[in-house]
Amino acid sequence: MTTPDPYASTDAAEPAVLVVDDVEDNRAVLIARLARLGYRAVTAAASGREALALIARERFDLVLLDVMMPGMSGPQVLEALRSEGRLADLPVIMVSALSELASVVECIELGAEDYLTKPINATLLRARVNATLEKKRLRDTIREATRRRLEQLERELMAARALQLGMVPDDLDRPDVPATVHTALEPARQVGGDLCDWFPGEGDTLWFAVGDVSDKGVAAALFMARTWSSLRSVATRQGTAGEPGAVLSAVNTELREANEALMFTTLLAGRLRLADGLVELANAGHPPPFHVGANGTVVPLACEAHLPLGAWPGQAYPTMRLQLAPGDGLFVYTDGITEATAVDGTQYSQARLRAALGELGRLPGRELLSALVANVRTFAGEAPQADDIAALVLRWRPMSTGTSAPCPTAPITPPGV
């Protein structure tokens, strides 16, 4: 069984030709000659304005346009067609007397496909009409194939976007867990290179991470997926002994393999001990997080940024420790927030981020993220989003004495699902 070509043209309609000339005898002769060549779907127009009106409401494959006409000349018709963007799909052959060749040159510069001189030679008419229609057919076939391919690519990218966003776990906000985690991820394109994740660790610990791949689009999304998978795998293998610095060193080694393009990821990874609120952090080239106090204070952490993951071998990443008080939290983000740019070229900046967190820091995690992203959007105004945006809010809320505080071991089901 033969598989049909999805890009093959199915339009077997006879080519539609429009003849434009103010002299009736000229129109009749040209229509008769076209009929002898096999072109019978021919329409006539006696003026430039009539031709434009016909083109506006009917589909034509070719226009044979006289140069010299009263009221609206051929070049004026051509200029109108060009201003409407029709010449990309509608070829025009100019018809002129030998004395009008200067005007023909002007028409070619305006976008006419070819020209014929009066009296019209039958052989030249056949050659130029056939060649022009064949070129149009080929252009239409390529254009249609390109359109279908772009539509297919768009569908594939939207499916990839859904899969990528599906890698971000649901918010963690359960009464039996002494921590909350809320995340936001907004790729600048259909897919992007930012990472935002949390997952349970060994011994009632909770891992969290935010990362940013050194590119955008499909390649960055694939490298982000490698980073995400490697981080979870290494952290699980090393168990309680794998503090964040050691985990990042191992992830760096894995990402170095099969990385001829030398892509890299900035990543801040941390582990929270649920029992006492101790946070361990390691930073591979990422913007330092903010400590958000229960009382609303906002302080950038002195979390030294070492080299990103994936490009340089044998890197060591130290682990720093931070003791959270009840209600304290962390705000971790990518530079898609601080480098968001307004129309005038001004960047959002870390100073604006700190000020916004000072105003929003007491809000619950989900409300905080929504309000912050809205703040960034308002600042950017009409400027397009140039970089992926990712952010994570973690808070520690110790349980009452004697209450167990297990770390979740399965995805959280959102309310109502």
Note whether 230 and 211 are within 8 A (CB). no
- In sequence order, the β-bridge partners of residue 322 are 279
Mean per-residue pLDDT over the chain, rounded? 87
Cis omega before residue 119 (within 30°)? Answer: yes
Question: pTM of the full predicted structure?
Answer: 0.69
Q: Is the pLDDT of residue 4 over 50?
A: no
Q: Is the pLDDT of residue 92 over 70?
A: yes
User: What's the confidence (pLDDT) of residue 167?
Assistant: 80
Q: Which residues contact 102 (CB under 8 A, 6 or more apart)?
A: none
**Span 270-303, pLDDT tens digits:** 999 999 999 999 999 999 999 999 988 999 998 8
The single residue listed with the structure tokens 């001990």 is: 273
The pair of structure tokens assigned to 13 is: 């309609």
Please tell me the distance from the alpha carbon of residue 143 to that of residue 90, in angstroms, as a whole number: 13
**Span 37-91, pLDDT tens digits:** 999 999 999 999 999 999 999 999 999 999 999 999 999 999 999 999 999 899 9
Q: Is the pLDDT of residue 159 over 80?
A: no
The pair of structure tokens assigned to 108 is: 């070619």
Note whether 244 and 270 are within 8 A (CB). yes
User: What's the confidence (pLDDT) of residue 416?
Assistant: 34
The helix-helix angle for 217-238 and 122-166 (nearest 10°) equals 20
375 by Cβ neighbours in 10 Å (0-12 / 13-18 / 19+) ranks as buried
The model's confidence at residue 400, banded by pLDDT at 50, 70 and 90, is low
Closest by CA to 372, choosing from 184, 195, 241, 209, is 184
Please give the radius of gyration of the chain, using alpha carbons only, rounded to the nearest integer: 33
Q: Is the pLDDT of residue 227 over 70?
A: yes
Average pLDDT over residues 148-152: 85
